[in-house]
């Protein structure tokens, strides 16, 4: 049986069938990762809209450009190399076959990498950015994903099987392509196909780097990636903070009233909740219920959508952009800032409020494995007065989901109680919730008395996200959002007073349950008992209540710093100094402005 299935036997007996089957399979494998990771917005069969308009548009969608990321596309390089192997006798040498195989392995590796970057994070492929992200993120991910050993074993086995299949197919392709019995029609068709690919590459050039193109070129993908990497490296290396320090200089302003400020990022809280029919009805009903609860207790609310610099992950980019008033959309940029401000401080929102007499607390509930020296570098960048880590909490109850982490209900209440017990200063407390982190299961439940959560109990077993159906995944996500918003509402009711201001903001869209066309925006809610302060946000795209109707983002994360200080000084400041400027896009670094 094995002898009958060997490439040698098959290529001699059925050279034409073997060639086209192996060529088609190897070609489709390149585009399969993108389709598999983008199944929510793509279909395996071409949608009816492909040919529903004019004949010219139909031809364009069939042979040039399709938004539907199906795997029915063609690789320029694979087609040209196969044609050279078949049509040029000199090329059919053993060492050329080895080069052919190595190039294909490189291509399939790049297409997998590209699919992950584009589909999971909606980022443009950049070796420079993703190298640092993988270097710092993959060990952290492996330490917190809580996956069972058999998942790693299964992934290893799957990768090994893929390598074996690819090598077998490559061997079959090369042997059948060199077989003397290869039909002239096969040779002619392959030559015509290669010529069409070359024409497409010459005609469309860098467009063939996009996954929507039917003719796909690895060469132009690499060229685009390298160019973006060089630009990003240059921008990071040439960052000049003189404009930042000049614009975010608030030393001439003074707050007369200093409310306690709770800046709470809600993990994976995205505008997809408005944009998908399975989320919108329960989500908007929840908002109306909570808005009424807050209103009856004397609280006023206003809401907008804010565009995040990241999608589906990279929370640190989102909250650092908001705190720094600077768009930070790649990991090398973040690392550069972290290294730069180990001595001296960045004029961030936290730093500005510290100068106004605030006690700046950073709360991290994640059960992390960072060394003390790593935390020291992190807190020097942020310039916080007090860091509360998971290890400081002495939590002994069950932990959940990502991390894993204690229930956010316990974390927030415990930290607020501890901080207020030892400082009389106005408070700026920052945290990001953990229980709404992917995969949203297992998940805690709200309790009447948060103290009871710190009691030993068996933890629920980890559930492999790949075994959860899309419907169940959406249900788990909605349950997590419901928990977070109810928990935060109760926290406001239990701990807030006339001198409290709450800012609740999403970091990015949730992975797995949102799509590319859901955009990058996240809700931001401002909650206070000061009606006049809440009303002052109306001029900047905020609407009363917890619900928005206009789904276009009204601001950007990097613009919130200047907006918040403008309204805070304008409402609570002393003297007749003019309100500081609002920068909708934050500060644009000097090197970015010159490009």
Q: What is the pLDDT of residue 517?
A: 83
Mean pLDDT on 360-380: 82
Q: How many percent of the chain have pLDDT more than 70?
A: 92
Q: What is the pLDDT of residue 151?
A: 62
Contact 271, 551 (CB under 8 A): yes
Mean pLDDT on 516-534: 95
Q: What is the pLDDT of residue 150?
A: 64
Mean pLDDT on 372-393: 88
**Which tokens sit at 110?**
């790049």
- State which H helix or E strand residue 290 sits in: helix 280-296
Mean pLDDT on 318-327: 96
Q: Where are the beta strands (DSSP E) in 300-344?
A: 300-307
**CB-side exposure of 132: number of CA atoms within 13 Å?**
16
H helical segments located in 394-469:
408-422
Of 117-126, 445-454, 571-580, the range with the highest mean pLDDT is 445-454
Q: What is the pLDDT of residue 3?
A: 47
What mean pLDDT is reported for the chain?
Answer: 89
Q: What is the pLDDT of residue 461?
A: 67
d(CA 117, CA 115): 6
Q: What is the pLDDT of residues 243-300, one digit of tens each?
A: 899 999 999 899 999 999 999 999 999 999 999 999 999 999 999 999 999 999 999 9
| Residue among 558, 584, 58, 92 at smallest CA distance from 327 | 558
pLDDT tier for residue 591 given thresholds of 50, 70 and 90: very low
Contact 245, 560 (CB under 8 A): no
Residue appearing with tokens 């994903």: 145
**Which tokens sit at 416?**
């607020």
pLDDT tier for residue 2 given thresholds of 50, 70 and 90: very low
> Which superfamily does 241-249+261-593 belong to?
Alkaline Phosphatase, subunit A (3.40.720.10)
Q: What is the pLDDT of residues 42-94, one digit of tens each?
A: 888 888 777 777 878 888 888 899 988 999 999 999 999 999 999 998 888 99
Kindly tell me if the per-residue pLDDT of 385 is higher than 50: yes
The verdict on whether omega for the bond into residue 161 sits within 30 degrees of 0, i.e. cis, is no
Contact 270, 506 (CB under 8 A): yes
| Residue among 107, 103, 114 at smallest CA distance from 33 | 114
Contact 319, 334 (CB under 8 A): no
Q: What is the pLDDT of residues 442-494, one digit of tens each?
A: 889 999 999 999 998 877 666 777 778 889 999 999 999 999 999 999 999 99
| Residue among 256, 289, 298, 288 at smallest CA distance from 529 | 298
* Weakest-pLDDT range from 175-179, 214-218, 273-277: 175-179
* Weakest-pLDDT range from 51-60, 131-140, 175-184, 387-396: 131-140
Domain residue limits, the chain: 7-233, 241-249+261-593
Pick the more confident residue, 525 or 469.
525
In sequence order, what are the beta bridge partners of 504? 264, 525
Q: What is the pLDDT of residue 143?
A: 58
Mean pLDDT on 339-345: 86
In sequence order, what are the beta bridge partners of 405? 400
**Which tokens sit at 268?**
């994976």
d(CA 590, CA 244): 9
Q: Where are the beta strands (DSSP E) in 278-333?
A: 300-307
Kindly tell me if the per-residue pLDDT of 169 is higher than 70: yes
Q: What is the pLDDT of residue 4?
A: 54
Q: What is the pLDDT of residue 592?
A: 44
Report how far apart the first and last C-alpha atoms of the chain are (Å, whole number).
63
Q: What is the pLDDT of residue 462?
A: 65
Mean pLDDT on 164-181: 88
């Amino acid at each position: 049986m094995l002898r009958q299935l060997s490439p040698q036997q098959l290529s001699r007996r059925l050279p034409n069938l073997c060639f086209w089957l192996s060529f088609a399979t190897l070609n489709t494998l390149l585009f399969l990762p993108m389709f598999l990771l983008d199944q929510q917005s793509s279909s395996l069969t071409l949608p009816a809209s492909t040919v529903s308009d004019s004949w010219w548009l139909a031809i364009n969608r069939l042979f040039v450009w399709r938004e539907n990321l199906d795997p029915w596309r063609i690789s320029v390089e694979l087609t040209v190399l196969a044609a050279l192997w078949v049509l040029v006798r000199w090329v059919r040498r053993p060492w050329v076959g080895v080069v052919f195989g190595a190039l294909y392995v490189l291509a399939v590796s790049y297409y997998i990498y590209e699919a992950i970057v584009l589909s999971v994070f909606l980022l443009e492929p950049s070796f420079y950015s993703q190298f640092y992200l993988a270097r710092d993120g993959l060990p952290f991910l492996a330490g917190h994903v809580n996956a069972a050993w058999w998942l790693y074993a299964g992934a290893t086995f799957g990768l090994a099987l893929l390598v074996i299949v690819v090598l077998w197919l490559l061997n079959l392709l090369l042997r059948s392509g060199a077989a003397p019995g290869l039909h002239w029609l096969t040779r002619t068709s392959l030559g015509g196909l290669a010529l069409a690919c070359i024409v497409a590459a010459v005609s469309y050039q860098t467009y063939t780097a996009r996954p929507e193109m039917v003719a796909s070129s690895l060469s132009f993908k690499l060229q685009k990636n390298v160019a973006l990497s060089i630009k990003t490296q240059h921008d990071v290396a040439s960052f000049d903070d003189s404009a930042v320090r000049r614009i975010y200089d608030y030393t001439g302003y003074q707050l007369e009233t200093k409310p306690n400020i709770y800046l709470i990022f809600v993990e994976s809280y995205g505008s997809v909740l408005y944009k998908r029919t399975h989320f919108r009805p329960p989500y908007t009903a929840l908002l109306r219920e909570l808005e009424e609860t807050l209103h009856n207790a004397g609280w006023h609310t206003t809401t907008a959508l804010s565009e995040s610099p990241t999608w589906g992950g990279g929370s640190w980019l989102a909250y650092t952009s908001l705190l720094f008033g600077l768009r930070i959309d790649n990991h090398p940029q973040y690392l550069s800032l972290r290294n730069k401000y180990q001595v001296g401080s960045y004029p961030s929102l936290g730093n500005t409020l510290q100068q106004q007499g605030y006690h700046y607390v950073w709360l991290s509930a994640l059960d992390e494995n960072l060394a003390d020296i790593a935390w020291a570098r992190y807190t020097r960048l942020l310039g916080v007065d007090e860091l509360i880590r998971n290890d400081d909490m002495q939590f002994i109850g069950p932990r959940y989901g990502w991390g894993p982490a204690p229930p956010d209900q316990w974390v927030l209440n415990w930290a607020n109680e501890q901080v207020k017990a030892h400082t009389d200063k106005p408070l700026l407390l920052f945290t990001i919730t953990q229980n709404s982190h992917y995969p949203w299961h297992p998940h805690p439940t709200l309790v009447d008395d948060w103290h009871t959560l710190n009691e030993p109990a068996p933890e629920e077993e980890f559930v492999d996200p790949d075994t959860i159906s899309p419907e169940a995944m959406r249900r788990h996500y909605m349950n997590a959002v419901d928990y977070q918003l109810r928990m935060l509402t109760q926290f406001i009711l239990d701990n807030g007073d006339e001198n409290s201001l709450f800012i609740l903001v999403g970091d990015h869209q949730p992975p797995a349950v949102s799509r590319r066309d859901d955009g990058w925006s996240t809700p931001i809610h401002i909650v206070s008992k000061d009606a006049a302060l809440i009303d002052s946000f109306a001029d900047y795209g905020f609407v009363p209540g917890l619900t928005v109707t206009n789904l276009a983002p009204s601001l950007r994360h990097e613009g919130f710093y200047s907006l918040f200080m403008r309204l805070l000084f304008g409402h609570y400041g002393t003297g007749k100094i003019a309100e500081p400027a609002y920068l909708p896009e934050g500060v644009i670094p000097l090197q970015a402005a010159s490009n």
